[in-house]
Amino acid sequence: MKDRKSRLADAAIDVLGHDGVRALTHRAVDARAGLPQGTCSYHFPTRNALLTAALERIAELDLADSEGRDLADVLAGWAGSPRTRARFMLMLDPQARRELGEAAARLADGFVERAERLTGSRARARLMIGLIDGLLLDELTRGTVSPEERRERLTAIGEILGPGR
């Protein structure tokens, strides 16, 4: 069973992914989590704390999803999901980006470091993450692609990264 903070962070992700950044309120999260009014503001007293909790939970779940799995399978699970939409909402909303500041930078650096271990270079890691984010954004905005097309796209990323990946 999930603890209350995880349950609230998951509800915040759901609100963000379905309704957008402007809809994210403590009251909306309480309702989505099925918890009494005031629970969210007790655990996350500020909007910044709530945004940070949602972003950290997204990163935690994304990392857990990717452990020991094929990248195409991971992306298939992420494509079109409310969690991925929530992540892009947080990345693209200027006010949310300002509020998240250090937390967003710290989490992004963690993903870059992990990708650097896979690619052998920080520049290649950032390129790989950018290309994968682009694939996910493309699928969110234009529709999910077939598993075969996703694999072709990932193969192309490998070719772009070239030797040393």
Whichever domain contains 114, its CATH number is 1.10.357.10
pLDDT tens digits for range 111-151: 999 889 888 899 999 998 999 999 999 988 888 788 888 88
Q: How far is CA 73 from the centre of its chain?
A: 16
Task: Write out the two tokens for 25.
Answer: 């309120």
> What is the dihedral sign for C-alpha 33, 1, 66, 5?
positive
pLDDT value, residue 123: 93
Task: Tell me the pTM.
Answer: 0.88
3-state secondary structure of 121: coil
Cβ-proximal residues to 30 (8 Å cutoff; 6+ apart), any chain? 8, 11, 36, 37, 38, 39, 40
pLDDT value, residue 12: 98
Report d(CA 165, CA 160) in Å as an integer. 10
Q: Which amino acid is at 115?
A: A
What range defines the domain where residue 147 resides? 4-161
From the list 6, 22, 117, 102, the residue with the least C-alpha distance to 58 is: 6
Mean pLDDT of the chain: 91
pLDDT tens digits for range 19-44: 999 999 999 999 999 999 999 999 99
Task: Write out the two tokens for 42.
Answer: 């007790």
Tally of domains within the chain = 1
pLDDT value, residue 48: 95
Task: Write out the two tokens for 149.
Answer: 């097309």
- For the cut 50, the answer to whether the pLDDT of residue 165 exceeds it is no
